[in-house]
Structure 1
């Protein structure tokens, strides 16, 4: 993988007023476009309740997506390990690895929705301990080991996988806050993190974090120092290209407000103010702090370049796709990012610009030569 890679992160949000079948078809179309555009990876999440978060089995979705794509890597974003027996997680991921031709990435986390946990009898107070126990077993199984263990949560007796990864291993990525304990766990398990520039929670309010990018860079530096250097970090960031920041905020505000109101406030019960002014101020604060990148092509290119430079290599930047605009506008945004913003990061247009400049500067002399030749 390149030192700098790009992809998209699809949270499992679907507008409950849209047909579930249509919503999934839109997801497939978007991921197919990402593959056509040359993006490196796509992440698909998992939730089990709320009516909004209806993508419950990312492995099944990614298996279907494998038949619709050619080269893009397909990642679970993320499987909450405390909800599943680790043998089943390992089995499904190795099967997915074969079905995708070795393109699978195992993304894991602890889970977030309490109702998801309660439906399956998961005690929220045990999440971290159970996550670590499960991660250790999943990694051992994928690595071909036979596991005998008994924990307060699960038992594995002579557990072994019948299939092994197609190319010997499967990359494991952990959703992380990069707190000190999280960094210890990442280094102990030889996994790498995926982080959000700002958590995509509806409880965000203006001014909650004056410098989220600076705080993130500080934690990434701490992680790399602990892990011994050039370890890949994945970062999820919201980017929206528009004529200006103000125009972009206007374009996403209705969808942003509906998600905060419909999911986070009414369903999840988060105590957020629900008024047009409050929602607008929240978005404006996120843009002002650098947590959201909104603006014209040049503005977005500069902001992304700055973020990449501050995070350092190797880094994968995944564009957060919450569907705050229409489906067609979402596809258009992904196309614009891939064809107009990303090329500017690597000087892809510099050669043609320099050639036009030099040719124009020499035009008078060359015209004279052509006249003399004629």
Structure 2
């Protein structure tokens, strides 16, 4: 089981100088490999005041020297917002900066304000997404590209530098609906199931993903991942009590983003769900049992963890990571 660390947790305080938080994140990265983590990941949102969202490509490039031995994942870059030629070039750059440790995690995006700011909408995002992946793969081949799509047209184009990884950095695709898991099966190297769906829906989505892979003649081994929220403490009651406020805050934020769509599974943004129904919550033993069950029943082999009860003070945050390292990670299968 590979375990990722949501590095935005250490850079989301609008009231503190961001450069200080970046240095704290760098220190976390310097320790993360020895603590048992294998990936750091960074998300993307725009125009989201008052919440803080540092941009993923630049942040990962800054942290790459401190994250030696760790994979660097955009988790998740909102691909339809961007010109795919630019993202193809940025991915190649970060792939070389990291010596072949970069993973391009991508998703559709959903906020109307963001989509409009980038000149698109919910209606066109799927076709923009699919065209973008197709065009990027052509560019990464190192050959001259001529491409005429609905959204993107490129002629006599050839990148000056091929990716460090062959044939290209892995593409992990975010999914919270049947359509998204089918796209992930067809276009990506791994599906990343989001943090909001409940555990029952995670099982539904993984079954749908495996079915799509089977139709395509692809082996599901090494292809199923999830980003999940974690609330961990010495005992279950403390973990859940500490996490309730942050869980409600996140539900309110994503609710204000209009994240729930009629095509996605229930994301629980109304706040009615109990924490154990959708998060990794409890004592280290409780958390290990939840993750191991998802591995055994659903085939999960990568999990990224974002904290719901991370302490505010940096020394306490390091102790929190030590707890995960010593009492959770060794018990994952």
Partner of 2:264: none
How far 1:103 sits from its partner (Å)? 0.6
1:123-134 alignment to 2 at 5 Å?
123-134=121-132
Q: Distance in 2 between matches of 1:308 and 1:95?
A: 34
In the alignment, structure 1 residue 320 sits paired with structure 2 residue 306: yes
Q: Offset of 1:53 from its aligned partner? A: 4.6
Q: Specify the SS of the correspondent of 1:125.
A: coil
Gaps of 5+ in 2: 261-267
Residues 345 and 284 of structure 1, relative CA distance in 2, 3 Å threshold: same
Contact 2:131 2:151 (8 Å CA) reproduced: no
Please state whether the residue corresponding to 1:326 is helix, strand or coil. Answer: coil
Please name the residue that 1:158 is paired with: 156
Residues in 2 aligned to 1:217 and 1:82: alpha-carbon distance in whole angstroms:
24
Work out which of the residue numbers 123, 144, 147 in structure 1 matches 2:145: 147
C-alpha distance after superposition, 1:78-136 (max 9, x if no partner) = 22121111111111110111111111111111123222222222222110111101110
2:236 corresponding residue in structure 1: 245
Q: Which has the larger radius of gyration?
A: 1
Q: Count residues with an aligned counterpart.
A: 320
2:297 aligned residue: 310
Q: CA deviation at 1:333?
A: 3.0
Shift in CA distance, 60/30, structure 1 to aligned 2, threshold 3 Å: same
CA distance in 1, matches of 2:71, 2:232: 25
Find the residue that maps to 1:164 and give its secondary structure. Answer: coil
**TM-score computed with the length of structure 1 as normaliser:** 0.76
- Written as runs of structure 1 = structure 2, the 5 A alignment for 1:228-239 is 228-229=218-219, 230-239=221-230
Tell me if structure 2 keeps the 8 A contact 1:255–1:325: no
Instruction: Compute the displacement of 1:343 (Å).
Output: 1.0
CA distance in 2, matches of 1:283, 1:332: 31
**RMSD between aligned alpha carbons?**
2.9
Residue 236 of structure 1, CA deviation: 1.4
Counterpart of 1:7 in structure 2 is: 4
Question: Where does residue 293 of structure 1 map in the other structure?
Answer: 280
Taking the aligned partners of 2:212 and 2:322, their CA distance within structure 1 comes to 33
Task: Look up the SS of the partner of 1:238 in the other structure.
Answer: strand
Name stretches of at least 5 consecutive residues in structure 1 with no aligned partner: 200-208, 272-278, 347-374
Match of 2:325 in 1: 338
